[in-house]
Amino acid sequence: MKIATLCYVIDKKNNSTLMIYRNKKQNDYHEGKWNGLGGKFEPGESPEECAVREIEEESGLKVKSVKMKGFITFPLFDGNDDWFVFLFTTNDFEGELIDSPEGRLEWIPNDRLTEIGLWGGDKIFIPWLFEEKFFSAKFNYVVGSFIDYSVVFY
What is residue 31's predicted lDDT score, i.e. its pLDDT? 80
- How far is 107 from 15, CA to CA, in rounded Å? 9
Buried b (16+ CB within 10 A) or exposed e, 30-46: beebbbbbbbebeeebe
What is residue 30's predicted lDDT score, i.e. its pLDDT? 80
What stretches in the chain show pLDDT beneath 50?
none
N-to-C CA span, the chain? 25
* Residues whose CB is less than 8 angstroms from the CB of residue 79 and which lie 6 or more positions away in sequence, other chains included: 143
From the CA atom positions of the chain, what is the Rg in Å? 14
pLDDT, tens digit (0-9, with 9 covering 90-100), for 35-57: 999 999 999 999 999 999 999 99
Distance, CA of 65 to chain centre:
16
The DSSP letter of residue 57 is H
- How far is 62 from 59, CA to CA, in rounded Å? 9
| Domain architecture of the chain: domains with CATH | 2-148 (3.90.79.10)
The DSSP letter of residue 135 is E
Pairing status of strand 83-94 against strand 2-11: parallel
What is residue 23's predicted lDDT score, i.e. its pLDDT? 86
